[in-house]
Amino acid sequence: MPTVSEQTKSTEAQSEPTSARSYSGVGVTPGRIVGVIRKMPSPVSEPTVGEQLSGAPEDAVAALRTASKAVHSELKNRADGAKGASKAVLEATALMAADPLLIKGGIKLINNSGLTPERAIWEAGASVAEMLHNLGGYMAERAADVLDVRARIVAELRGMPAPGIPLSDTPFILVGEDLAPADTATLDPSIVLALVTSSGGPQSHTAIIARALGLPAIVAAAGVETLTDGTEIYVDGAAGTITLNPGTTERTAAEAWATTSAILSVFDGEGRLKDGHLVPLLANVGGAKDAVKAAAANAQGVGLLRTEFCFLGRDTEPTIDEQVEAYRGVFDAFPGKKVVVRTLDAGADKPLPFLTDASEPNPALGVRGYRTDFTSPGVLERQLQAIALAAEGTEALVWVMAPMISTTDEAEHFAGMCAAAGLTIPGVMVEVPSAAIMSASILTHVEFVSLGTNDLTQYAMAADRQLGPLAELNTPWQPAVLQLIRLTAAGSETEGHHKPVGVCGEAAADPALAVVLVGIGVTTLSMTARSLSAVGAVLASVTLAEARDIAALALTAPTATEAKARVRAALPILAELGL
C-alpha cells in the first residue's frame, strides 16, 4: 500500500515552524520538478431532484443567464489562447454554453416547474444530451460537451471553482484524485509541470496519457488530496515521491533533471544492446496524429495501433471507408516499416457503445476485445477488410493482432479470419494468463504474439488496473507476471517456432523493466514515443548476457519491490540519468 510518511525533523522542528513532509505513490513517468500546486476541483454534484425555488423566478432566470454567459466567456478566452485539438474542444464547449436550446430549456423549468436554476439547467442539460445522443454520429459526440457545460454552469451558480483543469498563466503541478478522459484533452504540458493523483493505478489510462505527454507523474499517492493550492512541492516521478518545502538538495536535483531530460529527448532510431544485439523499439499510437509524432521521434515502426482510440465515444460502427481513412493515416507515416494494428479492444475502461454492454456486472471479465465477435458478429470481419483495404497501396508492413485472446481455438479462428481478408501476418495479444501458459500452442497458428502487460498484470494479480489502492499489486514487476512473460517467450523457443514475442504494455516504457524483458527473451518493445530515448539509452548500456543475468535477478525475487530493487542496483545508469 502506498504510504504517507510524515517526518518531523525533531531538532530542526523547534527552530523551524514548518515541518518537512513527504508522500509516496507509484511513479509513472520519470522527472524531477519543483513547483507550486494547483488542485483539480472536485466534480460537481447533482442538485437535489425537484429542488424548489425560494425566491422570485425572474431572479433565478437572471442568475442562470449570468452564469451561462460567464461560462461561455471563460471557455471562449481559453479557446483563444489554446492550440490544435484543445482549441477545437474548448470552442465546441464554449458554443454549448451559449446554446439557446439549453438555456431556454432551463428557463422553462424555472418558470413552469419552480425549480432552482441549478436543478433546472441540470435537467435541461440531460434532455439536450439525450436528444443529441439519439441523433447519433457527430451530434451524439457533442452530448458529453453539454454535460460538461451544465456542470460548469452549476459550479458558477454555486460560486464554486469550475470543474476541469484549473486555468493559470503560470506553470503548476496538477494535484487531483484522478483525471477524467475529457480533462486530458486540455492538459497543456507547457503549463502543467507534473501530475500527482491520489488514486488511479500505474497502468490506468491517466497514467498512459501522462507518459504519452512525457509529464512527470505519480499515481496512488494517498494523502495528497489534503494539500492546498499554492504549496510548493518537489516531485520525483521515478522514485514516486513528493516532498513539501523543497530545499537545496531537491532544487539541485530538479536543475540536473532539466539537463538530463534534454539529452534524453532524442532517440537515434535503432534499439540495440551494448554488444550490438538488436531490439527494435516501436511506438504505441492511437491514430494518425500520434503516428506522425512517433515517426518524428524515430520510432522503428508501430507495435500497437489501438484502433478503438480512433472511434471512442461512437455509438455506431464506423463505416469501412471511415476505418480505411483512419488506418491509412497511420500506415502512411511509416513507409517500409512494421505497423501492428490491433483490432478493436472495446470494453471495460474503453467502452464502445455499438459493441459493448454498459450494464455488464464485471466488464473487465466480460465481452471485451476479441470476444465482441461472439456477440456482434460481422464487426471484426469488416474491420479486417478495412485494414486490408487501407494496407493496399501503402508501403507499411501491416501486421494484425487480436486483443484478449484466451485459447488456442480463438487464435486459430482469428488467423483464419485474417487469411480470409488477405492479411498475411496474424498475431495475438497475450493479456490473459491462459494465453501465456498456452503460447507454444497458440504460436502454431499465428506469426507473432505481443504481451499486453497492463491487462496481463491485472488478470494475473486479480487487481483492477484502475484502482489506486491496488497499485502495489498492479505492477509488472510482480515476479508472477514476469514468470508469465517468461513462459510466453519460452513457448516460442521450446516449440522451435522462433517467432517474434513483443511487449506493448506499459512495462516496455520502463527502462529498467525493458532490460529484464529483453533478458527474458522478448524480441521487440513498443511504447509511447516519449519513452523511446530513455529505454534506448539504458538498453545500450548492457550486453545480452548481462540482460539475462539481470532478468534472472528479477525472476527469482520473492516480491515486486525486491525485484525492482535488485534490478536498479544492477543498473547504476538509472540513478545517473535520474530514471
Q: Between 240 and 452, whose beta carbon lies closer to Mg ion?
A: 452
Residues 61 and 107: beta-carbon distance below 8 Å: yes
Q: Between 483 and 541, whose beta carbon lies closer to ligand PEP?
A: 483
Whole-number minimum distance, CB 14 to ligand PEP, in Å?
50
- What's the alpha-carbon Rg for the chain, to the nearest Å? 25
* Short-list 498, 495, 553, CA closest to 521: 498
Q: Between 291 and 456, whose beta carbon lies closer to Mg ion?
A: 456
Whole-number minimum distance, CB 13 to ligand PEP, in Å?
45
Residues 373 and 390: beta-carbon distance below 8 Å: no
* Short-list 192, 109, 93, 204, CA closest to 150: 93
The b-or-e profile of 266-287 (16+ CB within 10 A means b, else e) is ebeeebebeeeeebbbbbbbbb
* Short-list 525, 526, 488, CA closest to 290: 526
Q: Between 459 and 477, whose beta carbon lies closer to Mg ion?
A: 459
Task: Find the binder of ligand PEP among 184, 439, 453, 478 (CB under 6 A).
Answer: 453
* C-alpha cell of residue 318: 464506423
- From the candidates 310, 445, 497, 504, give the one annotated as an active-site residue: 504
Residues 516 and 451: beta-carbon distance below 8 Å: no
Task: Return all residues near 548 (Cβ < 8 A) that are at least 6 apart.
Answer: 519
455 lies in the site for ligand PEP, by CB under 6 A: yes
Q: Between 372 and 385, whose beta carbon lies closer to Mg ion?
A: 372
475 lies in the site for ligand PEP, by CB under 6 A: no
> What is d(CA 34, CA 364) in angstroms, rounded to the nearest whole number?
38
Q: Between 208 and 557, whose beta carbon lies closer to ligand PEP?
A: 208
In this chain, which stretch among 3-11, 161-169, 354-362, 447-455 interacts with ligand PEP, using CB under 6 A? Answer: 447-455
Whole-number minimum distance, CB 345 to Mg ion, in Å?
6
Residues 286-305 that bind ligand PEP (CB under 6 A): 304
Mask for 398-437, x = binds ligand PEP (CB under 6 A): ---------------------------------x------
Residue 287 Cα distances to 88, 205, 533, 544, angstroms: 17, 16, 21, 33
> What is d(CA 392, CA 427) in angstroms, rounded to the nearest whole number?
19
Single-letter code of the amino acid located at 284 = N
In this chain, which stretch among 152-160, 269-277, 394-402, 423-431 interacts with Mg ion, using CB under 5 A? Answer: 423-431
> What is d(CA 578, CA 253) in angstroms, rounded to the nearest whole number?
9
Determine whether 319 is exposed, middle or buried from the number of CB atoms within 10 Å of its CB (0-12, 13-18, 19+): exposed
Task: Find the binder of ligand PEP among 202, 505, 519, 536 (CB under 6 A).
Answer: 505
Task: Find the binder of Mg ion among 236, 455, 506, 510 (CB under 5 A).
Answer: 455
Residue 306 binding: pick among Mg ion, ligand PEP, none (C-beta 5-8 Å cut-off by kind): ligand PEP
DSSP string, 40-97: PPPPPPPPPTTPBPSS-HHHHHHHHHHHHHHHHHHHHHHHHH--HHHHHHHHHHHHHH
Q: Between 148 and 455, whose beta carbon lies closer to ligand PEP?
A: 455
For 221-378, where are the alpha helices, taking DSSP H only?
248-263, 288-296, 320-333, 372-375
Q: Is the dihedral of CA 469, 187, 534, 340 positive or negative?
A: positive
* Residue 230 falls in which region: left (phi positive, over 0), alpha (psi -120 to 50) or beta: left
Q: Between 301 and 505, whose beta carbon lies closer to ligand PEP?
A: 505
* 504 tagged catalytic: yes
Mask for 304-343, x = binds ligand PEP (CB under 6 A): x-x-------------------------------------
> What is d(CA 61, CA 41) in angstroms, rounded to the nearest whole number?
26
* 498 tagged catalytic: no
Task: Find the binder of ligand PEP among 343, 439, 454, 466 (CB under 6 A).
Answer: 454
Whole-number minimum distance, CB 156 to Mg ion, in Å?
39
Single-letter code of the amino acid located at 413 = H
Residue 453 binding: pick among Mg ion, ligand PEP, none (C-beta 5-8 Å cut-off by kind): ligand PEP
In this chain, which stretch among 31-39, 98-106, 448-456, 488-496 interacts with ligand PEP, using CB under 6 A? Answer: 448-456
- From the candidates 72, 205, 445, 497, give the one annotated as an active-site residue: 205
Count the site residues for Mg ion by CB under 5 A.
Answer: 3
Task: Find the binder of ligand PEP among 37, 504, 534, 571 (CB under 6 A).
Answer: 504
Task: Find the binder of ligand PEP among 216, 351, 452, 491 (CB under 6 A).
Answer: 452
Residue 250 binding: pick among Mg ion, ligand PEP, none (C-beta 5-8 Å cut-off by kind): none
Residues found near Mg ion in the complex (CB under 5 A): 431, 452, 455
Q: Write out the residues near ligand PEP by the rule CB under 6 A.
A: 304, 306, 345, 431, 452-455, 504-505
Catalytic site positions: 205, 504
